[in-house]
Amino acid sequence: MSNAIPTHHLPNIRHLEIHITYRCNLRCNHCSNLITQAPSNETMTIAKLQEMLDDSARLNWPWEWLVLHGGEPTMHPQFEDVCAALRTYKHQHNRDVSLFVCTNGHGDRVREQMRVAARYGVKPESSGKVADPNVSYHVPFSVAAIDTGEDYMLGCFQSSKCGISYTNQGYYECSPAASAFRVFGYEPMAKRLDDVTVDALKAGYALHCARCGYARVEDPGRMVTHKDVKGPQQAANVTRPMSETWKTATDAYKVNKPPVEPYVSSPPRADRIQQPPPKTPVNKLQGGRRIIEM
């Protein structure tokens, strides 16, 4: 595998996954957000979400989709307000944007919140998490290439198709990178939307891809099977595949979590008003989103 970044794996700055909470009703051992291994009650405030939406409107940013992410996003204490804010942005500023919530769909509360989302035009999308203890797949997110000595790909579908990620701290090149921040304490590649460019986010690949196993998704021979990891019902009794870098980081996280104070915004840049980003190449072979029929 080459370390050159394929054009179809550049950060897609028209797709955004918004990490609104790390609370979750499941404890899947194979979770790429490390909810079991690095739990957190951090949530995004409505004000922080609105800041991103206001910046998007001011910059005329041509989002193609916005996805509520977690954790289990329906467990956000102000979930209906979150959905209402997205609908208002869509109706007033970007009629073409598609709105989704990535949910595990488990439990009465979650199902009720999915119906709330649907009323606001936010489509429930399956996260693929299942209650079957013999889950047959696992992405070795926490098997770092720098530990295995493998030649790792700089970038993968997580950034080029799923898109970039927004958290309380700022913008990352993908959701796994945002999750790695919680454990390692990395700074975001951009603090606010004014500073988001393909080049700015691509700069994070060298740091995060070296610590991520998602490149293995494109090489099925290196995936980990159900013999190595079980589903949420047996998560407490199963060891998640982790390389030394991740073992050290998660052990340190349990003793002293990195600071996760929300970034306090600086004034918007006048030179970025009404300057939409260029079209980003996207890998069209990755398929569509998995919408849950309500």
Domain boundaries, the chain: 7-255
Beta bridge partners of 15: 65
Poorest-pLDDT segment among 160-164, 177-181, 235-239? 235-239
The correct answer on CATH 3.20.20 for the domain covering 7-255 is: yes
Q: In this predicted structure, what is the pLDDT of residue 223? A: 46
Cβ atoms of 97 and 261 closer than 8 Å: no
Report how far residue 289's alpha carbon sits from residue 180's, in angstroms, rounded to the nearest whole number: 24
Phi, psi of 158 (to 5 degrees): -55, -40
pLDDT above 70 for 45: yes
Q: In this predicted structure, what is the pLDDT of residue 287? A: 41
**What is the pLDDT confidence band of residue 234, given thresholds at 50, 70 and 90?**
very low
Sequence-distant (6+) residues with CB within 8 A of 162 are 12, 15, 17, 67, 174, 175
Q: In this predicted structure, what is the pLDDT of residue 87? A: 98
Mean pLDDT of the chain: 79
Mean pLDDT for the stretch of residues 223-251: 59
Quote the tokens at residue 122: 């936010």
pTM given for the model: 0.82
Report how far residue 237's alpha carbon sits from residue 240's, in angstroms, rounded to the nearest whole number: 10
65-69 and 170-172 as β-strands: parallel, antiparallel, unpaired? unpaired
Q: What is the pLDDT of residues 113-125, one digit of tens each?
A: 999 999 999 999 8
- Highest mean pLDDT, choosing among 86-100, 117-131, 197-211: 86-100
Cβ atoms of 72 and 41 closer than 8 Å: no
Q: What is the pLDDT of residues 18-28, one digit of tens each?
A: 999 999 988 77
Q: What is the pLDDT of residues 142-164, one digit of tens each?
A: 888 788 776 666 778 888 889 99
